[in-house]
Amino acid sequence: MSLKHTYTLWAPLYDLALRPATGPARARNLAELGTLEGERLAIIGIGSGLDLDWLAAHTQPAHCFGIDLTRAMLRRAAQRQAHCPFPLDLIEGDAMALPIATARCDVVLLHLILAVVPQPHRVLAEACRILKPGGRIVIFDKFLRPGQRAPLRRALSPLLGALATRTNVEFEPLLAAQPELCCTRDEPLLANGWFRGITLQKSLT
Ligand SMILES: C[S@@+](CC[C@H](N)C(=O)[O-])C[C@H]1O[C@@H](n2cnc3c(N)ncnc32)[C@H](O)[C@@H]1O
């Protein structure tokens, strides 16, 4: 079964399970975005659009793209679209090959997607490609530290990865593969720092 199929099954339960579990950490991370006034935002793996509730109340991007692989999740995000005070394009697409032109966005949001996809380095490379020079990537996800002993999470990752999300992803090697990106913030947000809030900036040249 593919992730598209499993997230189709998760879609009706997703908000129920994830909204309370991630709410405060999500809000803390989204506050890093600032007002986004006049900026173009891309939300990669937008899912049911949980971020849209906060964004609608606190930000004014000039435009927002929401990309997801799973139609059932996008349908839920579409229900939130009516309450968005900014233009929002919901697009069915793959985070590892984004249907967005190069240097089109000022800010890319990667919430709970890098640990989900099978090739997270491709998602980070794509996020970097669609960013303008000087643009930002804001991440909220669970990452192990390089070499961290986490035997259960490492052992269960193949199974959990097929169902919903991997639990053995390390962030540092992903960043090392993107020399245009520099880390400007890295803070623990949830579960004793397993979930981190990270901001990256793309170089100006
Ligand atoms: C854990 S959910 C996160 C949703 C949302 N970002 C949030 O914070 O609640 C992961 C989402 O990634 C989507 N997804 C999985 N693989 C993807 C891919 N290759 N490209 C785009 N979206 C993908 C799933 O359909 C699901 O909606």
Contact between 189 and 28 under an 8 Å Cβ cutoff? The reply is yes
- What's the 205 CA to ligand 1 centre distance in angstroms? 30
**Atom of ligand 1 lying closest to residue 109 CA:** 6
Predicted confidence band of residue 205 (pLDDT cuts 50, 70, 90): confident
Domains and CATH numbers, the chain: 3-202 (3.40.50.150)
In a mutational test of the pocket of ligand 1, which residue from 6, 68, 111 has the highest number of ligand atoms less than 8 Å from its CB?
68
Ligand 1 pocket, residue 10 CB under 6 Å: no
Given this model, what pLDDT does residue 103 score? Answer: 98
- What's the 181 CA to ligand 1 centre distance in angstroms? 22
Given this model, what pLDDT does residue 1 score? Answer: 77
Helix axes 50-58, 3-30, angle to 10 degrees: 30
**Atom of ligand 1 lying closest to residue 43 CA:** 6
What whole-number percentage of the chain has pLDDT above 70? Answer: 100
What is d(CA 95, CA 110) in angstroms, rounded to the nearest whole number?
A: 10
Query: Is residue 9 packed enough to be buried (19+ CB in 10 Å), middle (13-18) or exposed (0-12)?
Result: middle
Task: Supply 13's token pair.
Answer: 């339960």
Given this model, what pLDDT does residue 78 score? Answer: 97
- What's the 183 CA to ligand 1 centre distance in angstroms? 23
Task: Give the model confidence (pLDDT) of 108-121 as tens digits.
Answer: 999 999 999 999 99
Given this model, what pLDDT does residue 124 score? Answer: 98
Which residue's alpha carbon is nearest to atom 12 within ligand 1? Answer: 45
- What's the 179 CA to ligand 1 centre distance in angstroms? 25
Checking if the pLDDT of 68 tops 90, the result is yes
What is d(CA 40, CA 158) in angstroms, rounded to the nearest whole number?
A: 35
Predicted confidence band of residue 22 (pLDDT cuts 50, 70, 90): very high
pTM above 0.75, yes or no: yes
- What's the 15 CA to ligand 1 centre distance in angstroms? 13
What is d(CA 115, CA 33) in angstroms, rounded to the nearest whole number?
A: 21
